[in-house]
Amino acid sequence: MAQEKSQPTDQAWATQRRLEDLLAKLGEKYGDLAGRVEVRHRPSTTFDQIGGLTAAKAGIRGFATVLANPELYRRWGITPPKGVLLYGPPGTGKSLLALALATISEATFFQLKLRNLTSKFGPNTADLLQEILAIAVGESRVVIFLDEVDALSLEHLLPPAEAPEASARLVAAVAEKLDGIEDFARVFVVAATSRTDAVDPSLVAPGRLDRIIEVPLPDPQAQQEIFLLKKAQTEQNAGRRLFADLDFRSILPPMGGMSGAEIQEVIRRALETKVQGAGAGEEVGLVTTQDLLQEIDGYRRIKEVVEKIRYGQYL
């Protein structure tokens, strides 16, 4: 599949710089925001680059009108929704969906990584959020992505006896900020979580993030779709064929239960093995079904450890 390579205009670069400068200034006040807050003026991720997720894609696409033409809601006598909660296992494409919404809506994308933010700022995260929202709503169209919104529970930060109260205050402050976003403001909030049990119900109350979309693990057909997208992407990056003809009837069963991110990882590992072979002066061919089966097997053996480290269960 052809991957879109958009050429940012001078104006887009200038806006991107301006927003980064604003965040850098905020960083001077609060401490480094790198890895906690990211902003992308006009992202380029499209829905075509997301495999499977037919229902979730259709669901989130529908919100483009909130950003592009909120007046339509007025004409039908209602106010636009403020935001949506995406839930599902890690690495299933929640961030991609939020990005793709920003892309089709020609919106600026603000990503707030709430686990990293709350780890540093704890209950004071709300003050910072307020300042970021003030910058964000100054843009003409904005998607605000609250990643790992369950981190507002502060469970990862405070002892069990203290977390609930501090969290309640933080959540109340965040909810207040959400309520403060004006109707028809061309601002849409996308929150994501892999832990619905830790999301405060007040965040999904009517008028807040009251739309909920499931982002499930891919079934075999979706896995094949994701695989082919990643294959096409790497082949396009390399400017040549990298994979032999593949037998998906062999590859898909052992890949059962893997997320899009894991499929990407398996492909990366298979290619890395080729790089290492080539680096050692070996004669290496294209990636075969057999190569992939080996990588899947290897990945499965260490998957549990990778997940625990990556998704913080050890923290």
Which is closer to ligand ADP, CB of 96 or CB of 204? 96
Measured from each CB, the residue nearest to ligand ADP is: 260
* Residue 301, C-beta contacts closer than 8 angstroms, at least 6 positions apart: none
* Residue 157, C-beta contacts closer than 8 angstroms, at least 6 positions apart: 118, 119, 122, 163
Q: By the 8 A CB rule, do 19 and 108 touch?
A: yes
CA 81 – CA 2 distance, rounded (Å)? 33
To ligand ADP, the closest distance from the beta carbon of 151 in angstroms equals 13
CB atoms within 10 A of CB 161: 7
To ligand ADP, the closest distance from the beta carbon of 196 in angstroms equals 13
Q: For residue 278, give the DSSP letter.
A: H
To ligand ADP, the closest distance from the beta carbon of 88 in angstroms equals 6
Which is closer to ligand ADP, CB of 118 or CB of 259? 259
Q: In a 3-state reduction of DSSP, which class is residue 143?
A: strand
Which is closer to ligand ADP, CB of 15 or CB of 95? 95
CA 264 – CA 225 distance, rounded (Å)? 12
Which is closer to ligand ADP, CB of 93 or CB of 123? 93
Which is closer to ligand ADP, CB of 83 or CB of 93? 93
Which is closer to ligand ADP, CB of 153 or CB of 259? 259
Which is closer to ligand ADP, CB of 15 or CB of 103? 103
Place of tokens 């004071």: 124
**Which chain residues interact with ligand ADP by CB under 6 A?**
50-53, 90-96, 192, 226, 229, 259-261, 264
CA 40 – CA 103 distance, rounded (Å)? 10
To ligand ADP, the closest distance from the beta carbon of 75 in angstroms equals 34
* Residue 40, C-beta contacts closer than 8 angstroms, at least 6 positions apart: 16, 99, 102, 108, 109, 111
Structure tokens at 112: 């707030």
To ligand ADP, the closest distance from the beta carbon of 98 in angstroms equals 8
To ligand ADP, the closest distance from the beta carbon of 56 in angstroms equals 9
CA 223 – CA 259 distance, rounded (Å)? 8
To ligand ADP, the closest distance from the beta carbon of 264 in angstroms equals 5
